[in-house]
Amino acid sequence: MPTAIFTIARSGLTATRRSLELTAQNVANAENPDYSRRILTQGELVMTGNIGNNAQDSLGGVKPGVIERAESSLVQRQARDSASALAAAEAEFFAMKEAESALETSGVYTGLVDFEAALTRLQNNPTEPALRLSALEAGRKMAGNFRIANGTLANARGLVQAETSAKTLTVNERAAELAKINADLVGAREGTAGRAALLDARDKALRGLAEEFGINPTINANGTADVMLNGAPPVALVTGAVAQPLATSFAADGTVSFTVGGTPFVPAGGGMAGRANALAEMADLQASLDSLAVSAITLSNTAQANGVGNDGNPGAAFFSGTGAGSITMVLASADGLATAPAGAGPGSRDTANLAAFITALGDPSGPITGTDSLLLSLSSRVSALETRTEGLSVVAASAEAELLRETGVDLDTEAANLIRLQQAFEANSRVIQVAAELFDTVLELR
Amino acid sequence: MGSITNSAGSFFNRSLAQMADLRAGIERTRTQIATGRKIERGSQDPAAAAQLRSVSRREALAQVEGDNAARLGQDLGAAAGEVQAVTELLQRARELAVQAASTATGSDGRRAIAFELEQLQQELFTRSNAVSLTGEPLFAGQSTGTAFTRDALGNVTYAGTPDSGAVPVAPGTEIERGLPGNEVFEFDLGGTPSSAFAVLGTLVSALQGGAPDPVAAANASLAGIDAALDTTNRAVTILGTRMAWVEQVEDQQADRKVALAERRSRVGDTDIADAIARLQQSLTALEASQSAFARVSSLTLFDALR
């Protein structure tokens, strides 16, 4: 029957055109990282009619099936987990790098060494006003450098805290988005382009969440995703169409704590965990810096109390303050610098007290060695974080490549498809032409 | 659908990451060459950064110790110069005492000698209160006041401290700043404490007619002058030894400075030849990688379709 040939060819044209559309869609999204390539399934259409024992087949051509989306939940998960680990390491690395440059460039160590050197120079001639004044000013500079270090560290901490707050908003937005996608997915029909786009959006939202937290998603049969955040204890962020709000708060020492839907938890992965670690380490750094400042204050004031100044009076306190942020030089005059031991009288060139002070300052338990080991441990930590970040970025890059290999668009394949489908389209058109000629042949019978 | 595909996105990501790595390496090498420093942040090499810190502390202290040693050398030199002058002065006093002890010298002659001795005694007192270049007394020990004071009767007493204190000139090395005046001008004469001032003062007053027998007094003063000379000679020796010590320390400081600079350079400075070779290598790799990327990225089937 020529009409059947028309129908068959038309179904072929329709199926081919829809495949071509999908190919065009794939090519258009070749550089879209959130896009999963699609294919159109096809099915043969055969109609069979039965009357009694007589069965009659009627060929109907091809039936365009459903849009299938290249999917690999395992590889998706690998990519998410490695991205999560990388984000944690990176966030911690960048924050600690900031802290490192804050402490290194503020010159705490140089200030202490210059103070020590100025005091040593004073030993040469303890009554020379110029040397006394330069020792006093070196002390002022040292105190200033401590305050600068305190300020830059606070700055670095503030940046991390601001990022944490901003990312909290992002997480809440993504969780709400995922909840909405879940709601939409329930109503989306299987095999439609709309559903495939929703699934793409779902995976994108999951990847976005994984950057901030280690997540443990459950993909349900209807395609919706429930998200548990890894941590102690694990908490549910998104269940079906409901997203729990994430909230962050900062303690006085700068450390951060998280609650999801009111339940406190400690995250175990993702950028948020990295930032939380960095903030905890910065709190430790602050404590160490404060104790170094207190050590410098105590040593100086003890030395002052033990000796007498150029005027023969007992030395007044050199510094005031309770930490790196408040250390201030309070000694009023250079003559008040207690270089001589108690009872030496005015104008003494005895440097016994000064020598004891220098020894205490340079002692392995003193602030100079303390600063050196603080800087060494900090830079070792940052170096280790850098190595870890590099390693994890290789892992994450290969997981991402694997994911793209599974779900991404291969332009060569699409180009080949294009030719194949073009030929199929032409062939189907030719079939219509043949059918028309057949029909004309029948009509022209005389 | 075939399971092995070569995703376009993956290819571009990979290529870009590799080229970014090369570019970052080139940037770092360039910074190293421009700044001359191998390490910008401590975390690039924590151990080397710690070494650099301790080297810079050592350098700062070495600088101060070098200055201390130089000034100490000057002070010791000034003290030695004064003591040398005092020695010559005492030798002249001894010559005069010997002349006075000669019976051939008449009373006029003795008065003249007494006059010169008085001048010498004056000079001796001035020299005993000599000050350093920066105005500190040379022989007052740890005191900043004058070393010797003279009362109305002309009696000279030591007003400084018995100890002159030490200056650190190297790690663990301290050198005494000078000699206290009591070790230069005071001594023990026949069991009683005496001083160059006292000896000369007694002689002068004896020669000016304060003694019934000036010849015997002059003879008696010789022992005192000899003791004073012994004391100053000893002081010159001590000061000379300390100056030699300071010089030796300064030599060591110069050596150590070179060693520290070498160490700093070895740990923290860019090896220019090595860095430039690496830069060239990375540049070549980047160029090759870029042209390879350009060629490979044009190799899609679409380019073949016309």
Express each pLDDT in B53-68 by its tens digit. 999 999 998 999 899 8
Helix (H, G, I), strand (E, B) or coil at A65: strand
Express each pLDDT in A48-91 by its tens digit. 888 877 878 888 889 888 888 888 788 889 999 999 999 999 99
* A401 domain-assigned: no
pLDDT band for B174, please (50, 70, 90 cuts): confident
Q: Which residues of B touch A125 (CB under 8 A)?
A: 71, 134, 136
Residue type, B69: A
Instruction: Inform me whether the C-beta atom of residue A401 falls under 8 Å from chain B C-beta atoms.
Output: yes
pLDDT for position B155: 86
Tokens at residue A295, please?
A: 């050590």
* A160 domain-assigned: yes
Instruction: Inform me whether the C-beta atom of residue B61 falls under 8 Å from chain A C-beta atoms.
Output: yes
Cβ separation of B68 and A117 shorter than 8 Å? no
Instruction: Note whether A243 and A175 are within 8 A (CB).
Output: yes
Share of chain A above pLDDT 90, in %: 64
Shared domain check, A436 and A319: no
How many Cβ contacts (< 8 angstroms) between chains A and B? 159
Does pLDDT of B3 surpass 70?
A: no
Q: Which residues of B touch A33 (CB under 8 A)?
A: 9
Boundary (domain end) residue, out of A374, A400, A423: A374
Inter-CA distances, B163 with A108, A124, A352, B142, B296, Å: 37, 15, 12, 7, 85
Cβ separation of B5 and A123 shorter than 8 Å? no
| Domains contained in chain A, number | 3
pLDDT for position A45: 86
Least confident of A22-26, A43-47, B208-212: B208-212
- Of all helices (H) and strands (E), which one includes residue A48? strand A38-51
Q: How far apart are CA A173 and CA A204, in angstroms?
A: 13
Instruction: Note whether B238 and B179 are within 8 A (CB).
Output: yes
Inter-CA distances, B81 with A431, B62, B142, B245, Å: 124, 28, 20, 17
Instruction: Note whether A149 and A378 are within 8 A (CB).
Output: no
pLDDT for position B2: 39
Shared domain check, A438 and A414: yes
Inter-CA distances, A198 with A34, A215, A291, A297, Å: 11, 20, 55, 63
Cβ separation of A368 and B57 shorter than 8 Å? yes
pLDDT for position B152: 85
Burial class of residue B296 (count of CB atoms within 10 Å of its CB; 0-12, 13-18, 19+)? exposed
Q: Could you check whether the bond before residue B137 is cis, i.e. omega within 30 degrees of 0?
A: no
Tokens at residue A82, please?
A: 């490695």
Least confident of A271-275, B60-64, B128-132, B301-305: B301-305
* A380 domain-assigned: no
Q: Tell me which of B298 and A197 has the higher pLDDT.
A: A197
pLDDT for position A251: 95
Shared domain check, A222 and A158: yes
Q: Which residues of B touch A32 (CB under 8 A)?
A: 9
Shared domain check, A81 and A163: yes
Instruction: Note whether A100 and A359 are within 8 A (CB).
Output: no
- Of all helices (H) and strands (E), which one includes residue A88? helix A73-105
Q: What is the 3-state secondary structure (H, E, C) of chain B?
A: CCCCCCCHHHHHHHHHHHHHHHHHHHHHHHHHHHHCECCCCHHHCHHHHHHHHHHHHHHHHHHHHHHHHHHHHHHHHHHHHHHHHHHHHHHHHHHHHHHHHCCCCCHHHHHHHHHHHHHHHHHHHHHHCCECCCCCECCCCCECCCCEEECCCCCEEECCCCCCCEEEEECCEEEECCCCHHHHHEEEECCEEEEHHHHHHHHHHHHHHHCCCHHHHHHHHHHHHHHHHHHHHHHHHHHHHHHHHHHHHHHHHHHHHHHHHHHHHHHHECCHHHHHHHHHHHHHHHHHHHHHHHHHHCCCHHHHCC
pLDDT for position A250: 95
Least confident of A82-91, A310-319, B115-124, B171-180: B171-180
Does pLDDT of B235 surpass 70?
A: yes
Nearest to A117 among B60, B304, B305 (CB): B60
pLDDT band for A267, please (50, 70, 90 cuts): very high
What would the mean pLDDT of B169-183 be, rounded to a whole number? 85
pLDDT band for B5, please (50, 70, 90 cuts): low
CATH of domain B54-264: 1.20.1330.10
Integer-rounded Cα Rg, in Å, for chain B is 39
The pTM for the full model equals 0.81
What mean pLDDT, rounded, does chain B reach?
87
What would the mean pLDDT of B223-243 be, rounded to a whole number? 92
pLDDT for position A2: 59
Instruction: Inform me whether the C-beta atom of residue B143 falls under 8 Å from chain A C-beta atoms.
Output: yes
Q: How far apart are CA A280 and CA B29, in angstroms?
A: 34
Closest by alpha carbon to B146, among B167, B131, B133, B134? Answer: B131
Cβ separation of A409 and B72 shorter than 8 Å? no
Closest by alpha carbon to B225, among B189, B278, B256? Answer: B189
Does pLDDT of B111 surpass 90?
A: no
Cβ separation of B61 and A117 shorter than 8 Å? yes
Helix (H, G, I), strand (E, B) or coil at A109: helix
What would the mean pLDDT of A330-340 be, rounded to a whole number? 90
Residue type, B179: L
Shared domain check, A216 and A184: yes
Shared domain check, A414 and A312: no
Q: How far apart are CA A203 and CA B117, in angstroms?
A: 110
Shared domain check, A97 and A53: no
Q: Which residues of B touch A375 (CB under 8 A)?
A: 42, 49-50, 53
Shared domain check, A89 and A192: yes
Express each pLDDT in A130-161 by its tens digit. 899 999 999 999 999 999 999 999 999 999 99
Shared domain check, A262 and A224: yes
Shared domain check, A180 and A82: yes
Structural domain harbouring A125: 106-148+295-374
Task: Please calculate the CA angle A133-A139-A143 and round it to the nearest 5 degrees.
Answer: 145
Tokens at residue B29, please?
A: 């090498």
Does the ipTM surpass 0.90? no
What mean pLDDT, rounded, does chain A reach?
91
Express each pLDDT in A222-242 by its tens digit. 889 999 999 989 999 999 999
Least confident of A38-52, A110-124, A322-336, A386-400: A38-52
Name the phi and psi angles at B37, rounded to 5.
Answer: -110, 135
Shared domain check, A207 and A143: no
> Could you state, in order of their start, the residue ranges of all structural domains in chain B?
54-264
Q: Which residue has the tokens 């303390």?
A: A370
Tokens at residue A229, please?
A: 């955040």
Share of chain A above pLDDT 70, in %: 100
Instruction: Note whether B124 and B197 are within 8 A (CB).
Output: yes
Task: Please calculate the CA angle A360-A338-A289 and round it to the nearest 5 degrees.
Answer: 40
Instruction: Note whether B103 and B158 are within 8 A (CB).
Output: no
pLDDT band for B6, please (50, 70, 90 cuts): low
Shared domain check, A135 and A113: yes
Express each pLDDT in A360-401 by its tens digit. 998 999 999 999 999 999 999 999 999 999 999 999 988 888
Instruction: Note whether B239 and B85 are within 8 A (CB).
Output: no
Task: Please calculate the CA angle A299-A361-A142 and round it to the nearest 5 degrees.
Answer: 80
Alpha-carbon distance B196 to nearest alpha carbon in chain A (angstroms): 26
Q: How far apart are CA B115 and CA B119, in angstroms?
A: 6
- Of all helices (H) and strands (E), which one includes residue A21? helix A2-28
Instruction: Note whether A290 and A146 are within 8 A (CB).
Output: no
Q: How far apart are CA A438 and CA B94, in angstroms?
A: 154
